[in-house]
């Protein structure tokens, strides 16, 4: 089976520390502690053993549900936000044909609940007007505003079209086993439902039903993905020495670069299929590490597109950046540059070369230029875009992120800062329980945001 690889050569040259001397013991202790506590309810470490321990009955239920949807509906709307959305979208986008949102002959996938954009919701309902569709609503808390609003709109649309009973047959709820508004609704209305384990937080949940149900509905091989994750689990345990443990090494080099003023990490890719892997990665590292006034700022660039927009800054701007490049060895399709007798565009020197070969040369050239420009480069190699390899990749990042947050001295499993905007928004919207909107808060609101703008 193919293996994701990590190459630190172009980053290690920026530091004068022996990573193994400094981090082998620390990372092993962190891993041992996490492994020991993985079953504890309040530690949010349930994801660590998940690929190995995943319940086969749940996998069968996921498979059956996906089969049923494929047989009956032409489209499915996935409703969720943050950790309840990005993992599934990342995998579906990476594995589906580029101009489709699902594998051939499977229900076409739409997304909702990831924003509060009125036009988006309006046009989505219009788009779904003549489509026979089902809905998967995902929310661990069951009370998040964005998916809550989207689900209300879609539920109303389905119920108007086909009545409450038929609508309920087309809705799948993925939420807490016992608590929350969505669990209550799912039980009352008899939706097919899946439970999210208590000890797994949103951004670490792609290998639970949160990620697996949508991935299966889009027709992708979630069992291969779990197998890939299991492979990565085995090669990143506390028993694997630092020199062979890519999760520990990635966590260590990030922290070492951060200590040297490299406070921004750019996750770069050269394939459009990785677009939502980048979004998922940004959430994983951003919410896990950005706290207590600390943390590398995770950003992303899609090359070669962004070489024509961000390339200048990366090459010659402030030296606070390092890059992690996801390097794809081979593509599924082969397409060569055609030869032309006229050669007016002077591209005949590339004639008959596969486009991917040119992309690889762009990647190598850029890596050398950026390293010469003072930008350390970490390279992750991925042989091909398959479910198995994506399973490895996602688990690798989860493990590395947890180690990295611990090295930094923050709790990588909470996100207290996310509540600040919600508190203000609820107060301004006069949500029950938030009536004590202080005069001060209202006075500070930009006049542009006041009621007159709304009508
Ligand atoms: O990673 C997280 O915990 C968050 O991004 C959540 O997944 C996100 O806020 C959605 O929460 P919920 O699943 O409760 O609707």
Chain segment 332-391, per-residue pLDDT in tens: 999 999 999 999 999 999 999 999 999 999 999 999 999 999 999 999 999 999 999 999
Q: Is the pLDDT of residue 453 over 70?
A: no
Please say if 422 is a catalytic residue: yes
Q: Which of 279, 287, 363, 398 is catalytic?
A: 287
Q: Is the Cβ atom of 145 under 6 angstroms away from ligand 1?
A: no
> Is the pTM value of this prediction over 0.85?
yes
Nearest to 211, CA basis, from 107, 100, 89, 298: 89
Nearest to 27, CA basis, from 249, 223, 262, 216: 249
Q: Is the Cβ atom of 144 under 6 angstroms away from ligand 1?
A: yes
Buried b (16+ CB within 10 A) or exposed e, 151-167: bebbbebbeeeeeeeeb
Contact of 392 with 228, CB cutoff 8 Å: yes
Q: Is the Cβ atom of 124 under 6 angstroms away from ligand 1?
A: no
Q: Is the Cβ atom of 146 under 6 angstroms away from ligand 1?
A: no
Look at 37-51, 278-292, 429-443 and tell me which has the smallest mean pLDDT: 429-443
| pLDDT in the model for residue 450 | 65
What is the Å distance from ligand 1's center to 363 Cα?
A: 35
Which of 46, 82, 151, 285 for a ligand 1 pocket mutation test, highest count of atoms within 8 Å of Cβ? 82
- Across the chain, what does the average pLDDT equal? 95
Q: Is the Cβ atom of 248 under 6 angstroms away from ligand 1?
A: no
Q: What beta strand segments (E) does 31-107 contain?
A: 75-79
Q: Is the pLDDT of residue 413 over 60?
A: yes
| pLDDT in the model for residue 452 | 60
Please say if 262 is a catalytic residue: no
Burial classification of residue 285, based on how many CB atoms lie within 10 Å of its CB (0-12 exposed, 13-18 middle, 19 or more buried): buried
| pLDDT in the model for residue 101 | 86
Average pLDDT (96-107) is: 90
Q: Whose CA is nearest to atom 3 of ligand 1?
A: 202
| pLDDT in the model for residue 451 | 61
Dist CA 87 CA 214 (whole Å): 10
- The DSSP line for 113-142 is SS---HHHHHHHHHHHTT--EEEEEEESSS
CA dist 31 → 229, 237, 247 (Å) = 17, 7, 10
What is the Å distance from ligand 1's center to 85 Cα?
A: 8
What is the Å distance from ligand 1's center to 83 Cα?
A: 5
Look at 29-33, 38-42, 127-131 and tell me which has the smallest mean pLDDT: 38-42
Q: Which of 40, 161, 184, 422 is catalytic?
A: 422
Q: Is the Cβ atom of 113 under 6 angstroms away from ligand 1?
A: no
Whole-number CA gyration radius for the chain = 23
pLDDT in tens, 193-209: 999 999 999 999 999 99
Q: Is the Cβ atom of 175 under 6 angstroms away from ligand 1?
A: no
pLDDT in tens, 227-252: 999 999 999 999 999 999 999 999 99
Dist CA 402 CA 262 (whole Å): 19
Residues 6+ apart with CB under 8 A from 15: 253, 256, 257, 260
Please say if 448 is a catalytic residue: no
Question: Does residue 315 have a cis bond before it (omega within 30 degrees)?
Answer: no
């Amino acid at each position: 089976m193919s293996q994701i690889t990590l190459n630190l050569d172009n980053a290690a040259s920026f530091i004068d520390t022996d990573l193994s001397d400094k981090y082998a013991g620390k990372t092993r202790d962190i891993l041992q502690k996490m492994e020991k506590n993985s079953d504890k309810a309040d530690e949010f470490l349930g994801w660590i053993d998940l690929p190995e321990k995943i319940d086969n009955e749940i996998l069968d239920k996921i498979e059956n549900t996906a089969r049923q949807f494929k047989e009956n509906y032409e489209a499915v709307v996935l409703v969720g936000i943050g950790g309840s959305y990005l993992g599934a979208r990342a995998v579906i986008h990476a594995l589906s044909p580029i101009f489709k949102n699902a594998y051939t002959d499977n229900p076409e996938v739409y997304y909702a609940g990831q924003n509060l954009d009125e036009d988006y919701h309006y046009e989505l309902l219009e788009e779904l007007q003549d489509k026979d569709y089902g809905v998967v609503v995902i929310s661990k808390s069951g009370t998040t505003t964005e998916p809550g609003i989207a689900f209300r709109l879609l539920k109303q649309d389905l119920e108007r079209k086909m009545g409450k009973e038929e609508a309920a047959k087309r809705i799948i709820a993925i939420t807490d086993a016992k608590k929350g508004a969505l669990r209550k609704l799912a039980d009352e209305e008899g939706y097919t439902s899946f439970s999210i384990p208590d000890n797994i937080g949103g951004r670490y949940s792609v290998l639970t039903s949160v990620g697996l149900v949508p991935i299966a509905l889009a027709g992708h091989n979630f069992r291969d993905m779990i197998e890939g994750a299991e492979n990565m689990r085995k090669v990143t345990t506390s028993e694997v020495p630092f020199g062979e443990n890519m999760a520990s090494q990635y966590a260590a080099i990030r922290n070492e670069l951060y200590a040297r003023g490299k406070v921004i990490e750019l996750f770069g890719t050269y394939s459009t299929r990785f677009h939502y892997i980048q979004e998922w990665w940004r959430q994983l590292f951003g919410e896990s590490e950005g706290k207590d006034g600390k943390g590398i700022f995770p950003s992303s660039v899609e090359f070669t597109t962004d070489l024509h927009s961000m390339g200048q800054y990366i090459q010659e701007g402030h030296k606070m950046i390092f890059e992690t490049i996801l390097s794809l060895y081979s593509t599924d399709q082969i397409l060569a540059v055609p030869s032309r007798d006229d050669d007016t565009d002077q591209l005949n020197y590339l004639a008959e070369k596969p486009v991917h070969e040119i992309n690889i040369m762009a990647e190598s050239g850029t890596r050398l230029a950026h390293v010469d420009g003072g930008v350390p480069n970490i390279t992750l190699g991925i042989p091909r875009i398959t479910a198995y390899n994506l399973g490895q990749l996602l688990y690798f990042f989860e493990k590395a992120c947890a180690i990295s947050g611990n090295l930094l001295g923050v709790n990588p499993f909470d996100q207290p800062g996310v509540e600040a905007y919600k508190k203000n928004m609820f107060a301004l919207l006069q949500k029950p329980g938030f009536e004590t909107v202080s005069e001060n808060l209202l006075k500070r609101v930009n006049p542009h945001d006041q009621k007159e703008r709304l009508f």
